């Protein structure tokens, strides 16, 4: 537990830290990469280049300081961090490195205002959060190691199949090289792919599992990623997987991780609505297939948003949900349709997902919502659900970036699509 004095100091400096949080995190990463370059291997440099990682950390720091006297409110955030850390193999001995450079960054940005008393309080607060994360990560590592078919670190997998799903998404079916079983996992989880790139050292990547648990292989479905900014290169690892990795090749894979999950064995008392944008369909497809396989009578609404038929992935698998489940409804939206997409029934409607669609097409007063997709899609869905007064405990999503980026987004100001029941 933190001392009353520390809590009071942290609450007092929270407005100042919040106003300078992104500056602090930029300085922090610069100092850490310079002072401890070995940790750079854990960080996606494309996210560093775009500023996304700095904003995400700034948001996390602000959330922690804001809730310093109510740490229970941070339980979901701690779980997200712990799962991510375990996917990358972060160890307890690396936490002091972060703490050292974070305090140094705060001192540099705040100058004389960062007194010894303030730095001591921040250090105490950081250590408490570190201890909580370390303990949760220890539990996750133990669960992974002791599970039937489980492991820690990386395990060799062979690419058994490689199948295009659209012009931009390709699926890879991965089987253990040792022919030993796979562990149980929850729909929505991801695995980590470690690539020793031939020219550019880079960090491991997380990819959602897009098939059901209980299969003899993992399936990941990878989008060929463009550069995050105009001056950034195309996605290094996604391009390598698409162009270089072939059937028979061996990849190093970390065990399933992630907290954005659905337990298909849990009885569903209310309808489930899944909203997928682009490659965000991958965890949701796994959830949907698993739910209907376990509970064929469960009411499920699955909406998929894509650019057009060229980028639309898994059309047949999503339509197959309607054959497998007695109460499954699907809706496909294209926001940049090709000339004959609507005529050829490649989609149901054209336009973007809107509050009006959610009001007319979903049982929004009772349903649990799961959604995943690119940032503008996520922001629009979240704002629409809040406008419909859907309570927070029925809203589930996976979002990269600071929480305030999704919570402060306005509704999309674009033409709405009316969908009849």
Please give the average per-residue pLDDT across 104-111, as a whole number.
Answer: 95
Percent share of the chain, pLDDT over 70: 92
CB-side exposure of 238: number of CA atoms within 13 Å?
Answer: 21
48 found inside a domain: yes
pLDDT digits (tens, 9 = 90+) for 166-208: 999 999 999 999 999 999 999 999 999 999 887 777 889 999 9
Tell me the C-alpha distance between 91 and 104, whole Å: 22
413 assigned to some structural domain: no
Q: Is 205 annotated as a binding residue?
A: yes
**Mean pLDDT value of segment 111-125:** 95
Task: Report pLDDT digits (tens) over 224-282.
Answer: 987 766 666 678 899 999 999 999 999 999 999 999 999 999 999 899 999 999 999 99
CATH of the domain at 381: 3.40.50.80
Here the CATH number for the domain that contains residue 212 is 2.40.30.10
Q: What is the pLDDT of residues 58-72, one digit of tens each?
A: 888 888 999 999 988
- Sequential DSSP letters for 296-358: TTS-EEEEEEESSTTT---HHHHHHHHHH-TTEEEEEEESS--TTTTTTTS-SEES---HHHH
Statement to judge: residues 124 and 205 lie in one domain? no
Same domain (yes/no): 305, 398: yes
pLDDT at 45 over 80: no
DSSP 43-82: S-HHHHHHTHHHHHHHHHHHHHHHTTT-GGGGHHHHHHHH
In this structure, the answer to whether residues 226 and 92 fall within a common structural domain is: no
Listed residue (163, 181, 151) closest to 220, CA to CA: 163
What sign has the CA pseudo-torsion 418, 400, 50, 102? positive
Q: Out of 146, 174, 199, pick the residue that ends a domain.
A: 146
- Show the domain range for 202: 155-257
* DSSP label of 392: G
Q: Is position 222 annotated in a ligand binding site?
A: no
Domain presence at residue 290:
yes
- 168 carries a ligand binding annotation: no
Catalytic residue positions, numbered: 95, 137
Residues 222 and 112 in one domain: no
Domain's final residue, options 204, 226, 257: 257
Asked if the structure places residue 159 within a domain, the reply is yes
Annotated ligand binding at 400? The verdict is yes
* Residues 326, 289 share a domain: yes
- How many domains, in total, are found in the chain? 3
Q: DSSP 3-state helix, strand, coil percentages of the chain (rounded to 5)?
A: 45, 15, 35
Determine, yes or no, domain membership for 364: yes
- 102 with 187, same domain? no
pTM: 0.91
Question: Which of 140, 222, 221 has its CA nearest to residue 183?
Answer: 140
Q: Give the Cα separation of 205 and 192 in Å (integer).
A: 5
Look up the CATH number of the domain holding residue 129.
1.10.490.10
The annotation status of 75 as a binding-site residue, yes or no, is no
């Amino acid at each position: 537990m933190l001392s009353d004095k520390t809590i009071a100091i942290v609450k007092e400096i929270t407005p100042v830290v919040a106003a300078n949080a992104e500056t602090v995190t930029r300085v922090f990463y610069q100092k850490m990469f310079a002072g401890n370059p070995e940790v750079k291997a854990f960080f996606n440099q494309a996210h560093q280049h775009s500023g996304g990682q700095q904003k995400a950390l700034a948001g996390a720091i602000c959330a922690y300081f804001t809730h310093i006297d109510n740490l229970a409110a941070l339980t979901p955030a701690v779980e997200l961090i712990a799962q991510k850390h375990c996917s990358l193999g972060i160890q307890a001995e690396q936490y002091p490195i972060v703490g050292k450079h974070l305090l140094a960054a705060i001192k540099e940005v705040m100058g004389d205002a960062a007194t010894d008393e303030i730095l001591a309080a921040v250090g105490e607060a950081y250590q408490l959060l570190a201890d909580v994360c370390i303990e949760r990560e220890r539990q996750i590592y133990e669960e992974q190691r002791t599970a039937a078919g489980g492991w820690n670190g990386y395990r060799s997998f062979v690419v058994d199949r490689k199948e295009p799903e659209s012009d931009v998404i390709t699926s890879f079916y991965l089987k253990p090289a040792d022919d030993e079983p796979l562990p149980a996992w929850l729909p929505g989880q991801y695995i980590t792919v470690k690539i020793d790139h031939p020219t550019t050292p880079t960090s491991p990547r997380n990819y959602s599992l897009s098939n059901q648990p209980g299969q003899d292989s993992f399936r990941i479905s990878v989008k060929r990623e463009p550069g995050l900014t105009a001056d950034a290169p195309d996605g290094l690892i996604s391009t390598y997987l698409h162009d270089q990795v072939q059937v028979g090749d061996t990849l190093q894979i970390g065990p399933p991780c992630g907290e954005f999950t659905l337990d298909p064995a849990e009885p569903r008392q209310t309808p489930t609505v899944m909203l997928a944008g682009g490659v965000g369909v991958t965890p949701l497809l796994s959830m949907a297939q698993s739910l209907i396989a376990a509970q064929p009578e469960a009411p499920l609404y699955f909406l998929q948003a894509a650019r057009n038929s060229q980028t639309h992935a898994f059309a047949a698998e999503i339509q197959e949900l309607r054959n497998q489940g007695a109460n499954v409804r699907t809706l496909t939206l294209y926001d940049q349709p090709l000339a004959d997409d609507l005529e050829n029934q490649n989609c149901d409607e054209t336009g973007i997902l809107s509050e009006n669609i959610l009001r007319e097409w979903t049982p929004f007063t009772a349903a649990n919502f799961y959604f995943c997709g690119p940032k503008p899609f996520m922001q629009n869905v979240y704002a629409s659900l809040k406008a419909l007064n859907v309570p927070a405990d029925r809203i589930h999503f996976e979002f990269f970036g600071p929480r305030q980026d999704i919570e402060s987004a306005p509704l999309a100001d674009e033409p709405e699509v009316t969908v009849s029941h």
